Structure 1
Amino acid sequence: MKYRSIQTRLIQFMLAVTTIPLLLSLFITFTHTRESVKEQTVNENVRLIYQGATNLMNYLRGIDRASLSVYSDPHFLRNLALDPDNYRVIAELYATLQAIQTGTQDVHQIYLHNDLTGQSTQISSNLPRREFRQAPYRTIEQFGQGNTAIEPVHQVHSYGFPPRPADILDFEVITFYRSITNVPSPDQYALMAIDVKLDSILAICDQLYAKEEEQLYLIDDNGSIIYSPDPAQRGQYLNDPELMNVIAQADKGYYDGNDAMIIYEKLDLPYAPWTLVKQIPHQTLYKNSTELTSINAIIAIFALLIVIFGTLWISIRITKPIKQLTSYMNQVKTGRLDVNIDVTSPDEIGVLSRRFRNMMDTINNLILREYRLEIANKTNQLKALQAQIDPHFLYNSLQSIGTLALQHNVPRIYSLLSSLANIMRYNMRNSEAKVTLQDEINHVRLYLELQKQRFRDQLEVIWELDPESLTAPVPKMILQPIVENYFKHGMNTHAGVGLVSISSRISEDSRLIVVIENNGSSIDEEELALIRSKLAAAYDHYDRNDNGNDSIGLLNVLMRLNLYTNNNAELIIENALPHGVIVTLNINAWESEQ
């Protein structure tokens, strides 16, 4: 009833018409903002990565042009073929290599191996060194194909020359290799290796991402990391098979990964198959849209609170007179026909209240006298019926017989007579329409004690009672008729020990569940269906002609349960396996108290 009230429905309606549009607006705004921010961010970073790749290519082309300057020296190729001990030849080779070192940015040292004479030369900031070797320290085929190649990031070394105290070897470089040939002949005269510091590459890459929010990698086609925000990762391999697979299929593009947006661009250089990779975490990518959605959500919650407050205030103003009138009706329902209905509101509810008050005055004037007279007549009839047999006389007589049994030392007879007397006394409590479940259980115990005297070892009783359920109020005499049906119709002494099980508990929705089970004969299916149809019909009406004499039957029990619980009770009967009958009572016991 509470959930069908005008106040509840008004609140639900106001919340619905307010919450649904707000939530829909938040969802659309959030989705549109995310997509807009995603598209804008991707476009900006695609252009940024393209510019970064262009700057890197220009930088590497500068080193490539510097390495080609040996062909501009008319004496360089000739000197490679001359006597390596000729000091003029040595001086001219040194001069050309030093010009490349000093004239090119970030060049740390140059190594040259003359294949014609076997002489290896190292040019650095210190004095140049040379020695004769059968093969160069590194070959170009180790890092690529063609006349040029680049060795990935590695620790700087002295190309096999003995270390000197002035050498600085605690930083990383990349090495640019060039095969020097006698053009147009493909025969290699010498191999030149240029060690390039990472300063310019780091400077270019540092401008392409936001530190602590994004990640940027410069990797070669094998996944070796040339640049990373974490210096410890440089020279290592990037463990991302999905990214390497995507890069292998296209020269540039982007895709949405599990945790970040990935944007990549390859350098268009045959000797530097490098790829710039930028990772933008979703948290960073959607930061602005999340903040905007949070602001909108706060505004929406504030507006929703205002709506709820306003709805409650309006609904209370509307429903308070209705609740007051309902209270008056409940008093009339309990029999107070002279209740004073005092609702003074000038609206439609006030008019309805005044009309109801006039109706009650008319009812009082027309039927109150006849109603009270009828009640008095029924009371007199009940007293007359009770006077026909004085139950106190029977009770006192049983007590006298019990006393005599004790005098003759027969305590079992006294116990049985006491049980019978207590059963009669329980039945004589006519002033109590409702009792606790504990009282009903005690009554059934007495009844079963008499039955055990009759059947002795052929009857077994099992009790499984939840202590919390024993305080539940129930109509009087609802269990004993059900148990009695077992002894009337179901008990079969030839089939073994008879079993009666009685259990009670309180369900999760605060209802009283009582289960009475026996192992007697099962009910025929057609008869069981007929009983169930009668029980179902009993929920709607009670036909006195059909059931008036069945005062102790299941229909009578169900009728009294519904009478005291406002039709909020169930009686379920079913056959047990392999034989027997189970009767379940499902009662909203506490509602019957109200």
Structure 2
Amino acid sequence: MPKRGHYVNERDKPMKFRSIRSRLIQFMLLATTIPLLLSISITYIHTKETIKEQALEENRHLIFQGKTNLSNYLDNINKASLVVYNDANFLRNLRKIPEDYRAVAEVFTLLQNIQNTVSGIERIYLHASQSNQSTLVTPATFPKREFRPVPYVSTVPYEKFTTAVEPTHNSHDYGFPPSPTSYTKRQVFTFHRTITNIPSEKVLGVLAIDVRLDSVAAICEQLFNKKNEQLVIVDQGGSVIYSGNDEQIGQKLQDQAVLDHIGQNVSGYFEMNGAMHVYEKMQTPYTDWTIIKRIPNATLYERATELTKINTVIAVIALLVIIFGTLFISVRITEPIKRLTSYMNRIQSGQLNVDIDWSSRDETGIMFARFRQMMDTINNLILREYKLELANKTNQLKALQAQINPHFLYNTLQSIGTLALHHNAPRIYALLTSLSKIMRYSMNNNDALVTLQDEAEHVKLYLDLQKERFGDQLEFSLHLEPDTLGVPVPKMILQPLVENFFKHGMDNPEGGKGKLAIISRMEPAGVLTVTIENNGEPIPPDVLSRLAAGLERQQNRTQADGNGEYGIGLHNVMMRLQLYNEHGSALHIENMEPQGVRIIARIHTKAKYTKETNE
């Protein structure tokens, strides 16, 4: 078995991760960090979704409004081009010979009116198919006119459409000699209209209206923030009509995945490449454009991120406060424990007179005060134990000196018994044998615990001798249940209880005959109950009261007294039960009706009995 000192040292080793302070800090950190992180995460996710929904709704309305404004703008250009049908002279003028200057002037005037009707028109090109005349009208120069058998090449693909819009391209002079005011690097889109001889489908000419991107840009710039958002307008072929990035205008949109997404529905949104894309199609008889707005996630969730940062800062501050508070509280709680452990280590090393100093007024102060009282009590008990040990040594010496007496008595009784047999007196031999067994049982100090059966046999020998003394005036009986015979009990607890009857109650028994009964039984929870009843003289009430109070005080280990001659045997038995039984065994005495005394001993059979006497 390991030594006791080694065991204590193992328990006293510092355990950083198993100390109360460490566990308290870990618990407080977990109890605060996890809810805070969960709260921040849930708040961020919820805010993110809410902001996403709000942003989508706002951008849908914004793009829809932008689509309406662009549609109205293109409708104005379309209405302006319809003037060619409202003026009946214009269609006749297209068929006249080029030398009719009046007709030419009316054509110039009509084209200039179209140019002035809608803002943003860069130039207007007209080709009359019957007279083979091409006309160009610009705001900064005089109209130009020349003979051409076919229209300008850029208008040819659109002759089969009544109206159509050519994607954004660099401005040009439709084959006419450039003028100093021409801006060939300016980007425009062209509105094409094929002029027919209504109600027939005979083509009289083609009209091309170049429109600057200024008006389109003015509308689109209200739909997005150029710093952190992007907006493009593409036609059905994927060509960029307008873009916040000038380099994309007039080019094919490179992101095919975006084109695939917008081809599925008239409007909607999708997430791709770390951004939210919101789109709306603008479908008219003359164009099929799609407005696409790209909002990076960093911009879309900027408010959610800011709110999360604020919550995180607050959480960190709260966590720091909790950490410092936990450290302070843990130190206040564990410092007394560490101090008390230090005192215990010094006491363990043999310094029993340690000055225990702790002046706190809280629970720790009460604990240290109780510890000081405990040490004072231990020191007093050690001093008493030392004195008892000296007394035991003296008693042992006296016992060694008196060992010759029992052997002398045993031998003497054996000789007398042998002599009685020689003189034919077996009764005398039997009595001497019983007396010898009683003396041997009572003087044998090797066994501190015996079975109830051994104790009962000893008492029976004692009662047999008393029976010889009192004859027919004494009757006794033993009613011992079989399951109680093997129960270990302290030695010499029954005879003192029985002996009281012969000392105090045998003089005036009821009916002139003394009766005594010993009864044993097992009660629940492993309690052995031994009851001794007699019909002797009852104990006076005042004496019985003092005797019961003395037994109760002795049972509570507060005081032990004899309560006169009657209580000496009872208190000796009670002392034996307390010495060999860690549990609360009890001894109770009462008067019986109409006469007699009952003594009840209750012994816990599951108690741990010490064997110090044997050792």
Per the TM alignment, residue 201 of structure 1 is displaced from its structure 2 partner at its CA by 0.6
Q: Deviations over 1:133-156 (max 9, x none)?
A: 232113556369621111111111
Identify which of 56, 63, 67 aligns with 2:77: 63
Q: By how many angstroms is 1:189 displaced?
A: 1.4
Residue aligning to 1:533 = none
Which one of the candidate residues 81, 98, 120 is aligned to 1:84? 98
Matched, 1:161 2:176: yes
The alpha carbon displacement at 1:70 in A equals 0.2
Tell me the number of residue pairs that the alignment of Structure 1 and Structure 2 aligns: 369
2:290 maps to which of 275, 278, 299: 275
Describe how 1:232-381 pairs up with structure 2 within 5 A: 232-331=247-346, 335-338=349-352, 340=354, 342-344=356-358, 345=360, 347=363, 349-350=367-368, 353-354=371-372, 357=375, 361=379
SS of residue paired to 1:3: coil
Q: Which amino acid aligns with 1:350?
A: F
In the aligned structure 2, how far is the partner of 1:363 from the partner of 1:134?
A: 135
What residue is the counterpart of 1:539 in the other structure? none
Structure 1 residues 168 and 351, CA gap change in structure 2 (3 angstroms): same
Contact 2:155 2:208 survives alignment (8 Å): no
**2:25 aligned with 1:11:** yes
Q: How many Å apart are 1:305 and its aligned residue?
A: 1.5
Other structure's SS at 2:284 match = coil
**Counterpart AA for 2:92:** R
Q: Please provide the CA RMSD for this pair.
A: 2.6
1:151 alignment partner in structure 2: 166
- 1:100 alignment counterpart: 114
SS of corresponding position for 2:125: strand
Compute the TM-score of the two structures, normalised by the length of structure 2. 0.56
Partner of 1:138: 153
2:54 pairs with one of 27, 40, 64 = 40
Q: 1:465 maps to which residue?
A: none
1:110 to 112, 121, 124: 124
User: Would you say the 8 A contact 1:140–1:178 is kept in 2?
Assistant: no
221 and 353 in structure 1: CA distance in 2 versus 1, 3 angstrom threshold: farther
**Where does structure 1 lack aligned partners over 5 or more consecutive residues?**
371-594
Look up the equivalent residue of 1:216 and give its one-letter code.
L
Letter in 2 for 1:187: K
1:396 equivalent in structure 2: none
Amino acid aligned to 1:17: A
Letter of the aligned partner of 2:315 in structure 1?
A: A
Q: Name whichever of 240-249 and 218-227 sits farther off.
A: 218-227
Match of 2:41 in 1: 27
User: By how many angstroms is 1:363 displaced?
Assistant: 9.2
Give the whole-Å Cα distance in 2 for the aligned partners of 1:364 and 1:205. Answer: 99
Q: How much does 1:257 deviate?
A: 2.2
Aligned-partner Cα distance in 1 for 2:172–2:306: 51
Cα distance change on mapping 1:356 and 1:257 into 2, 3 Å: farther
Query: Structure 1 CA distance, aligned partners of 2:351 and 2:211?
Result: 107
Alpha-carbon shift at residue 5 of structure 1 (Å): 1.3
Q: Secondary structure at the match of 2:136?
A: strand
How far apart, in 2, do the equivalents of 1:82 and 1:340 lie? 132
- The answer to which of 206-215 and 350-359 deviates more is 350-359
Q: Which amino acid aligns with 1:60?
A: L
**What do residues 100-124 of structure 1 show as CA deviations (whole Å, max 9, x unaligned)?**
1122221121111112222211111
**In the alignment, residue 40 of structure 2 is paired with which amino acid?**
L
The residue correspondences of 1:204-243 to structure 2 (distance < 5 A) are: 204-243=219-258
Letter in structure 1 aligned against 2:47: T
Aligned equivalent of 2:438: none
Equivalent residue in structure 1 for 2:217, among 185, 193, 202: 202
Pair 195,147 (structure 1): closer, same or farther in 2 beyond 3 Å: same
* SS of corresponding position for 2:98: coil
| DSSP-derived class of the 2:55 partner | helix
Distance in 2 (alpha carbons) for counterparts of 1:144 and 1:210: 39
Whole-angstrom distance in 1 between the partners of 2:40 and 2:80: 59
- For residues 140 and 273 of structure 1, do their structure 2 counterparts lie closer, same or farther at Cα, with a shift above 3 Å needed? farther
Distance in 2 between the 1:54 and 1:261 partners?
Answer: 22
Q: After superposition, give the CA deviation of every residue in 1:243-272 in whole Å (9 maximum; x if it has no partner).
A: 111111111111222311111111121322
What is the letter of the counterpart of residue 293 of structure 1? Answer: T
The alpha-carbon distance between structure 1 residues 351 and 277, as it changes in their structure 2 partners (threshold 3 A), is same
Shift of the alpha carbon at 1:195? 0.9
- What SS does structure 1 have at the residue aligned with 2:340? helix
Greater Rg, structure 1 or structure 2? Answer: 2
Partner residue, 2:206: 191
8 Å contact kept, 1:118–1:133:
yes
1:176-575 to structure 2, matched below 5 A, reads: 176-331=191-346, 335-338=349-352, 340=354, 342-344=356-358, 345=360, 347=363, 349-350=367-368, 353-354=371-372, 357=375, 361=379
Task: Measure how far apart 1:14 and its partner are.
Answer: 2.2
After superposition, the C-alpha distances for 1:189-242 in whole angstroms (9 at most, x for unaligned) are: 101111111111111011111230211111212222222222222212222112
Q: Distance in 2 between matches of 1:310 and 1:145?
A: 83
Q: Structure 1 residues 300, 84: closer, same or farther in 2, change over 3 A?
A: same
Alpha-carbon distance between aligned partners in 2 of 1:31 and 1:166, rounded to the nearest angstrom? 57
